Structure 1
Amino acid sequence: MPSLEPFGKDIWIADGPVVESAGFAYPTRMAIMRLEDGALFLWSPIALTPELRAAIDVLGEVRFVVTPTCLHYVALPAWRAAYPNATLYAAPGSRTRAKHIAFDADLTDAPPSGWRGQIDQALMHGNAIATEAIFFHRASGTVLFADLLQNFPADWFKGWRSLVARFDRMIGTQAQVPQKFRLAFTNRRAARESLARIQAWPIEKVLMAHGTPITQNGAAFITRAFHWLIRDKA
């Protein structure tokens, strides 16, 4: 049963059930951020349960529901039905990949007026798999990554899946950019420009959908995680 865990000022996280993608099991995690007027911004929603809904409703009114990548959409129909007055934002590619979902608006490099000045955002351009929207919650100093940073426990996968996960850098001492995403950055100049915007934020903590959160020295962690992109001038 998911429960809300504070992660800083006006931000909470909730871990959800495991979902399967391409034969691999992934844990799920969402974040809830409360804006200055009391409204809620939901990032990468997990499976909705009555208990989770009740806990979120205590925090405030759900006004924005955001999928940060076109790969995170399985739980969205339930949230769309539960909060029909909330604005549902699509990451690039979401409308094509999840045609059954009625999105209201699209994420760009510029935050909309609803959360501008409180939550910053940048699209991570140049990747052939997905254009992920990276967010920065100013009040808590937290940057949020959905799939571009991952780290699974050493015993999470079994058999051949464990070998593939290690090769793909899904398993390691720290969260890394998986190999498949590294190779998919076909326009690295565009990716470095996106990363430069992210690095300009005063990052203290790093929250990931598939990895252990980083609670200090977040900016240095991001630099290490993307060192291969920073040094590649191609």
Structure 2
Amino acid sequence: MMSGGSGAITTAGRREMTWSNPMGDDMVQVLGDVWCAERPFVWNGIDVGGRMAVVKLSDGSLWVHSPVDLDEPLKEALASLGPVGHIVSPNYEHVKYAKQWVEAYPSAVSYACPGLAERQPEVGFTREVGASIEDESLPEWGDEILACFMDCETNPFTGKPFFNEVVFFHRPTKTLITSDLYWNYPRKEVPLGTRVWKWGMDKVYLPFYKKFMVTDGEAFVSKVNQILDWGVETIVPCHGGIVRSGAPQALRQQLLGRAPAD
């Protein structure tokens, strides 16, 4: 194993460098005990970028959010940090590789957002997370990670939850980890298709989501304020760039459509 840039883990078989993983690293340190694995996420031929978050808990175990394809180089990179103890599938969409991880790490606890285990019983999830107020902080996570279930949106065409997402917050580093609730697609230096995707998400999907999919606006605002009250300083989204400054302002602007009151 060899290191890439500062705080990076890269195995000998270097990955292809793409806009979503510009250094070709297996994993990159975000800050403190928070790492990420950045990979292409191709949708209809467009690389919209994907990111798995990895948190090393105080007991030495790894907490993995929205797992990506588990190949041998990534296994080696993870092993260099610690044993995988927790595997989290945060919403209905980020579940493609869950079964692969559950089978590869049978001693790990696998968590599903509410309703996901019933939708995909073949994965073999251990437990559900986010459905009760007690789940805001789980003892097995050493009370280091908080959870907030965004249970106030519905697909207007089916009458059922769409993402049904649970977002997470790592207390020691004040880092918010999201899958599809918040994204931060880059504005430039990316392929044309990705720029078009960003425009569609920002100008078409987001207004539709807030107007037609958020069925309880008061609850939605309350949930966003709960997240902000955690004291978020960094955002690690599954899609787009990591937000290292101005995180509260970015959340307010995108989710509530306004700048901070102060």
Which residue of structure 2 lines up, in the alignment, with residue 92 of structure 1? 114
Separation in 2 of the partners of 1:199 and 1:31?
Answer: 20
* 2:147 equivalent to 1:121: yes
Distance 1:170 1:209, change over 3 A: farther
Report the AA paired with residue 101 of structure 2.
W
Q: Deviations over 1:111-153 (max 9, x none)?
A: 3211142111111121112221111111211101110122334
* 2:28 equivalent to 1:5: yes
More strand as a share of residues = 1
For the 8 Å contact 1:148–1:181, the answer to whether it is kept is: no
Separation in 2 of the partners of 1:64 and 1:76?
Answer: 11
Report the AA paired with residue 209 of structure 2.
F
Separation in 2 of the partners of 1:158 and 1:180?
Answer: 21
Separation in 2 of the partners of 1:135 and 1:25?
Answer: 25
Distance 1:72 1:147, change over 3 A: same
Separation in 1 of the partners of 2:96 and 2:42?
Answer: 9
Which residue of structure 2 lines up, in the alignment, with residue 189 of structure 1? 218
Which residue of structure 2 lines up, in the alignment, with residue 14 of structure 1? 37
TM-score, normalised to structure 1, is 0.85
Question: How far has the Cα of 1:26 moved from its partner?
Answer: 3.3
Q: Deviations over 1:169-188 (max 9, x none)?
A: 179xxxxx833432311111
**Is the partner of 2:227 in helix, strand or coil?**
helix
Distance 1:97 1:170, change over 3 A: farther
Question: How far has the Cα of 1:41 moved from its partner?
Answer: 0.5
Distance 1:130 1:36, change over 3 A: same
Which residue of structure 2 lines up, in the alignment, with residue 174 of structure 1? none
Q: Which structure 2 residue ranges, 5 or more long, are not aligned?
A: 1-14, 16-24, 155-161
Which residue of structure 2 lines up, in the alignment, with residue 69 of structure 1? 91
For the 8 Å contact 2:67–2:89, the answer to whether it is kept is: yes
Q: Which has the larger radius of gyration?
A: 2
Q: Which of 137, 142, 167 in structure 1 is aligned with 2:170? A: 137
Aligned Cα RMSD in Å? Answer: 2.6
Question: How far has the Cα of 1:101 moved from its partner?
Answer: 0.9
